[in-house]
A and B are shown apart, each in its own frame.
Chain A
Amino acid sequence: MNNDFQFHVHQAESLVIDRSFAGDSFFKAGVKRFFARKSNVFGLVLLCLLIIMSIIGPHLSGWNYSEQHLDRANMAPRIPGILSGEENLPGTNGSIRVNRYEQLGLTDTYYYFGTDELGRDLFSRCFQGLRVSVLIALAAALIDLVIGINYGMISGYFGGKVDLCMQQIIDIAGSIPTLVVVTLLMLVLKPGIGTIIFALMLTGWMEMSIIARTQVLKLKEEEFVLASRTLGAGRFFILFKEILPNITGALITEIMVSIPSAIFLETFLSFVGLGLPIGSCSLGSLISSGFDSCLLHPYKLFPSMIVLILLMIACNLVADGLREAFDTRSVR
């Protein structure tokens, strides 16, 4: 230490890594920003709860979602200690209070959300419908991942004629409204979850590919890409090993953004009667049939409606939070 011209090798070594103020990668920093906001955490927790319920929910009440008990039709909700199973039936002169459970002598039967006009347990049906919505969300994410990202990245990275051609296709395909495509597909093909996913495959990837393309365009002239190229890396190596890890944040955000619209599309179609065939159930068809009888039995309408709203809010909160955390607003 007393010789100024001596290298302090041992000291330099200990200073190489700054552990107390370690810098985060872009992705890690984004995740930290995401969890710093309460509304994001709330949305994420809600989303996780709903996903868990979509898995275990249909089995919780002990009744199958498609099991019919015609003698137990239109039972009001009954929950131990909270709801007695009574309901007001409106008539022309006032209304009467009825408890169908007592009439039928069912002392320890509990339908948490009541039953529908065929005596099917609405609790199981509601969460079975949620399961369909979650499935659709997964499909939408997968479509984004497989088609959207690849299409956009290739179009953006290769540029020139490839880009022009691919963008022209999007221009034309994108100007056919989704609703029109889906409606026609439903008429031509067999209605069902497969057809809805097929319709999503035709229409759902475009937004994502536009985002992926702009992100690639931003990065492809950067020095690290040039460095990789001078080292002899191939095009696809650069695209997927160099660029892709750097745009993960924006892509995850866009996946999350596209999910609510996919869920909306399915419930909307089922509500109109174009979605799932009769027999299977979706939140949309539950709301539709609940609406048909809501003047007499309002309890049929609300559970599925609230579950759908919660699901949409959770997805939108998470999507918003991600967008803010990864700051992709300026891109859109």
Chain B
Amino acid sequence: MKKYIIKKLVLSVVTLLLIIFILFLLMNLMPGSPFNNPKLTPEQKEILIQSYGLDKPVLQRFFIYLGNMFKGDFGVSYSLSVNTPVLTLIRSRLPVSLLIGISAMLLGSAAGLIVGFLAAFHQGKAADIVCMILSVIGISVPSYIIAIALSYFVGFRLKWLPLLYDFRNPVLSGIMPVLALSVMVMSVIARFTRDEAVSVLKSDYVMFARSQGMSGRTILFHYVIRNSIMQVITVMTLLLVGLLTGSLVTEQIFSIPGIGFLLSSAISANDYNVVITLSFMYAAIYVVARLILDILYGIIDPRVRLGGER
């Protein structure tokens, strides 16, 4: 077990280092230079380049950059808010994104689990068909289209909810973004739950339980949910990353001052340090989520850590 965890840890660290290296290389490939003011004389440029350490070889600079990263220094913003450390920018925007992301995740998973189990128990009947049509639509319609449709019909036409996010009234103005993000989560989880639950329902032990005269509810709670929840949790973890993508545009549409909005404005303003740091953050979240998942799997299912077929 220890060996397995160490192996996974080392692999994750290598992955993260590799990602930083790739990001760093890309940053060096970016067109243009930070010092292209025509008033600068060549001597002044020389001094600037030296003071930022840009005259050193790439590999050495990479290790300096890495060292700064460990100290929590990700550089400063160039254009969005000049000379503000990137970390300060991110810290002020993270809570909003997390709040909306987590609420969407909770709402979507709860709805998805209910819809999925409902469909599985009424397999082939009207409820199943309706649930599956809903989930196909939910998977097919990108979250930004749902966000647009909601903001047009509910926000603009019906005037039920505020069009834009308002930090003084986060509950009411947060409903639409959360809904827009949760549809995708709901559909994916509903479909997955249904497939898992159907395969559990078809299994011999459920048939045995039925033949013993157990009620549907007992079977649901004691057999179906227990045996299918692990797979569903896997999907949930991976969906968390999908939510980040969704938040990028949803935050733009509802003008939520969060991480996604920061990233999309940094992209359009060519604020490289911000883009790189956020990219690294997204990658790190993904890597850590996968690491936790792998370790959990190793604990729960010995077949995984003992190798063989993956």
Contact = CB atoms under 8 A, between A and B. Distances in A.
A329 B144 contact: no
Interface string B278-310: 010011001100100000000000000000011
A81 interface: no
B156 interface: yes
A272 interface: yes
Interface in A183-238: 183-184, 186-188, 217
Contacts of A298: 152
B140 A312 contact: yes
Nearest to A180: B279
B140 A313 contact: yes
A177 B148 contact: no
B136 A317 contact: yes
Interface residues of A, number: 40
Contact of B137 (A260, A313, A315, A329): A313
Given A298-B152, A312-B140, A184 B275 contact: yes
B11 A171 contact: yes
A280 B141 CA distance: 23
A97 B94 CA distance: 45
A272 B264 contact: yes
A301 B264 CA distance: 21
A187 B145 contact: no
A175 B268 contact: no
B270 interface: yes
B140 A260 contact: yes
A179 interface: yes
Interface stretch (A63-71, A126-134, A263-271): A263-271
B282 A271 contact: no
A175 B15 CA distance: 8
B245 to A, nearest CB: 5
Interface string B195-215: 100010000000000000000
B19 interface: yes
Nearest to A317: B136
Interface stretch (A7-15, A110-118, A287-295): A287-295
Interface residues of B, number: 48
B267 interface: yes
A287 B26 contact: no
Given A268-B142, A309-B140, A274 B279 contact: no
A316 B286 contact: no
A301 B26 contact: no
Given A171-B11, A294-B152, A309-B140, A271 B26 contact: no
Nearest to B291: A175
Given A272-B264, A287-B145, A316-B140, A183 B275 contact: yes
A276 interface: no
Contacts of B286: 175-177
Given A177-B241, A187-B275, A217-B309, A329 B195 contact: yes
A305 B145 contact: yes
Nearest to B31: A188
Contact of B18 (A172, A186, A260, A295): A172
B30 interface: yes
Given A184-B23, A184-B26, A187-B270, A272 B249 contact: yes
Contact of B30 (A188, A217, A274, A329): A188
Interface string A62-84: 00000000000000000000000
11 contacts: A176-B283, A260-B139, A268-B144, A271-B144, A301-B148, A305-B145, A309-B145, A312-B142, A313-B136, A316-B140, A320-B136
Interface of B: 11-12, 14-15, 18-19, 22-23, 26, 29-31, 136-137, 139-142, 144-145, 148-149, 152, 156, 195, 199, 241, 244-245, 248-249, 252-253, 263-264, 267-268, 270, 272, 275, 279, 282-283, 286-287, 290, 309-310
Given A176-B283, A309-B140, 10 more contacts: A167-B310, A175-B12, A175-B15, A175-B287, A179-B244, A180-B279, A184-B26, A272-B249, A287-B148, A317-B136
